[in-house]
Structure 1
């Protein structure tokens, strides 16, 4: 994507999907951040759609750690709304294996309303 943004996706039809991103007819993230080039691709082999989405989310989190969570979307972390991304990553920290460094960045960047909600969630 342009300006150092990244989108992680999975598809059995790579050429078609890249064309959709180029024409901004695909993911919301690629509608606001122009596609520039494919960084990498790999064959996940035969797997269920659930397994493919889990792998996509895992790669998304790895890219978030490397490039910053605000600059990457994909898998179950595709929302445009930053608050929603923070909420999901904090809530599902264990499920998505969010490490302490990324977790602390997410928590430190919460606005006051979200900090109150997090405090309530943790105290339950």
Structure 2
């Protein structure tokens, strides 16, 4: 028989040729999150104890709004990729896996868009 597995038992279980891309996206978003988070943290620390109107004014500034939008986009995309890996690795029932993957994508998109809309509302003076 040898060391080779019968073709019928491995068909469809090979590489999907997407693992490297997924891994790179996770690493790139992780690296992008470092400076974005530090900038946002600096702004938030500087706003501790500030009046509500001042906080709205600062978060409405174009640079800060841009940083926040980039942070939100990178953060929720990174979250989606990370949870996808966990679901694919540790959930073995196919129907549960598909449901959780769809739920992961949906929730990350909805919460990310809601956060982005809140920032845009501040930035555009709404």
State the TM-score, normalizing by the size of structure 2: 0.28
The structure in which a higher percent of residues are helix is 2
Higher RCO structure (Cα 8 Å, ≥6 apart): 2
The structure in which a higher percent of residues are strand is 1
Higher radius of gyration, 1 or 2: 2
